[in-house]
Amino acid sequence: MRPLSDTHLIEVYHEARAMRLSAEFIALIESAIEQRGLSANDEQKSLA
């Protein structure tokens, strides 16, 4: 399986929160975002 791009990871995070998926799953995504040195708001910066 291919790793997610940074942009896709952020999109998945926002979708998971919108869908109210489990806190454990969201925490895993947040951990991956932090490990990459990203912010959950990075996607919005690239769209501006």
Higher pLDDT, 2 or 30: 30
21 three-class SS: coil
Structural domains of the chain ordered from first start: 6-47 (1.10.287)
Residues with Cβ within 8 Å of residue 9, at least 6 apart in sequence? 29, 32, 33, 36, 38
> Taking a C-beta distance cutoff of 8 angstroms, is the pair 10, 4 a contact?
no
pTM: 0.80
Q: How confident is the model at residue 2 (pLDDT cuts 50, 70, 90)?
A: confident
6 three-class SS: helix
pLDDT of residue 42: 65
For 14-47, the pLDDT digits (tens) are 999 999 999 999 999 999 999 999 998 865 544 4
Residue with tokens 């919005």: 44
